[in-house]
Amino acid sequence: MWDRLKPGEAFFLTDMELALLLEAKGISSFQGFPLEHYPKKEEDVLQTIFSMTEKGLLHAREEEFQTAGELSACMEILKNAKGILALIPEEKDIPQICCYPGEDLLTIEASALRSSTFKLQRISWEELEEKLKESGPRMELEFCRKGGEGPIWQAILRNREDGLVREWGEGEEAFSIEILRKEIWQTEEVLLL
């Protein structure tokens, strides 16, 4: 069922399901939204596994469980991401999005309809531009390196009819996803030197 997602489709995971997947995939450091509920007791772990199997997110294979193909790909992006790109809309009723950059992007946002639930969606860099346009008239972007303390790159963006612009003090300039990609990777390369 979840081996392939169609464009626009997403996974909705409870914080317990996400925490269990992170642990199972060996992701010990998770930057982004706080996970309030973590299955600590064996009963909670088994109930979470059962729930995920019922949803088709896990498949039983003899004595082990295997993550559905597309969900496994999402977890690999998360595991190998260089850091986190936080998209913080100025308007409080628009949700914050955490993007995990790689060849593709994994976006995670808190569900507006279900508490303690997250929406995970694999998107391309081009689709990120649409997410930026949906994030209201003004937003802040911050990139933090994996395991880093604070942002190593920041920008304030505005949506205008003619496209995205980046604010610089009193001025502004056109902004594109390609600029974002280059600045993130360039910042990462400079830090590695």
Residue 193 has pLDDT above 50, yes or no: no
Note the pTM of the prediction, 2 decimals.
Answer: 0.83
Annotate 70-82 with b (16+ C-beta within 10 A) or e (fewer).
bbebbbebbeebb
At 1 the pLDDT is 46
Looking at this protein, which amino acid is placed at residue 181? R
Query: What are the extents of the domains in the chain?
Result: 11-77, 81-192
At 106 the pLDDT is 92
d(CA 144, CA 79): 15
At 191 the pLDDT is 46
Q: What is the pLDDT of residues 4-47, one digit of tens each?
A: 566 668 899 998 899 888 888 888 777 887 776 666 788 888 88
Q: In this structure, are residues 39 and 45 in contact, taking their beta carbons and an 8 Å threshold?
A: yes
At 142 the pLDDT is 92
Q: What is the pLDDT of residues 42-101, one digit of tens each?
A: 888 888 888 888 888 888 777 778 887 888 888 888 888 888 999 999 998 888 999 998
Neighbours of 187 (CB within 10 A): 17
Confidence of residue 157 (pLDDT cuts 50, 70, 90): very high
Across 49-58, 60-69, 115-124, 130-139, least confident range: 60-69
